[in-house]
A and B are shown apart, each in its own frame.
Chain A
Amino acid sequence: GENVEQHPSTLSVQEGDSAVIKCTYSDSASNYFPWYKQELGKRPQLIIDIRSNVGEKKDQRIAVTLNKTAKHFSLHITETQPEDSAVYFCAASWNYGGSQGNLIFGKGTKLSVKP
């Protein structure tokens, strides 16, 4: 089955700096890679996702890159702000036609942005 490794487990940056979180996956059939942000005491919420037919996707200060050959994908946050402080989870799954695999999550990265 799929296994997702996420690093680092904690990350502390200064406001305005960039933050990068990396994940690797094991199942080459995986083709969908979402990222979730979970603020303290709240539910995980989807912030960006990427499918295997593209290598990069951006949404304002957030970008995700995917390297299918190496089976890793990364979340990049630029110009970090204190409100970016949260736990971030990567995940991987597959879906083809009428079938899908389960979403398997990494163990999370606690990001702290210091003002």
Chain B
Amino acid sequence: ETGVTQTPRHLVMGMTNKKSLKCEQHLGHNAMYWYKQSAKKPLELMFVYSLEERVENNSVPSRFSPECPNSSHLFLHLHTLQPEDSALYLCASSDLFGNGYTFGSGTRLTVV
């Protein structure tokens, strides 16, 4: 493991379900990120947290709701998703200057 752990690795959910993705980093970083990776947009930045405060939200639909309770944990809460939301969701972390940028292994999400 690289120090950034994501769970679950795979998730299949119906459009009416509510689920959460979890990311945990053990690198002492203070910035965490959510990316969506799909065939159309290989690495699309969704959310940025710095010192547990959301600093960027790249026009992401409200059916995706991030949460950063502390500098080591990041969640992505999912509800009423659409099939086009099926993708690999990658978490990453870095220090406040963008150094040591490290990705987790991702959660492969399938919406049925």
Contact = CB atoms under 8 A, between A and B. Distances in A.
Interface of A: 32, 34, 36, 42-46, 87, 89, 93, 95, 98, 100-105, 107-108
Contacts of B102: 46
Going nearest first, the 7 A-B pairs with the smallest beta carbon separation are A105-B43, A43-B103, A100-B98, A108-B42, A95-B97, A43-B105, A44-B103
Most buried by A among B43, B45, B104: B43
Interface in B88-112: 90, 94, 96-99, 101-106
Interface of B: 2, 31, 33, 41-43, 45, 48, 56, 90, 94, 96-99, 101-106
A108 B88 CA distance: 15
B43 A34 contact: no
Nearest to A32: B98
26 contacts: A32-B98, A36-B103, A42-B105, A43-B2, A43-B104, A44-B90, A44-B103, A46-B101, A89-B43, A93-B98, A95-B97, A95-B98, A98-B96, A98-B97, A100-B97, A100-B98, A102-B45, A102-B48, A102-B56, A103-B94, A103-B98, A104-B45, A105-B43, A105-B45, A107-B42, A108-B43
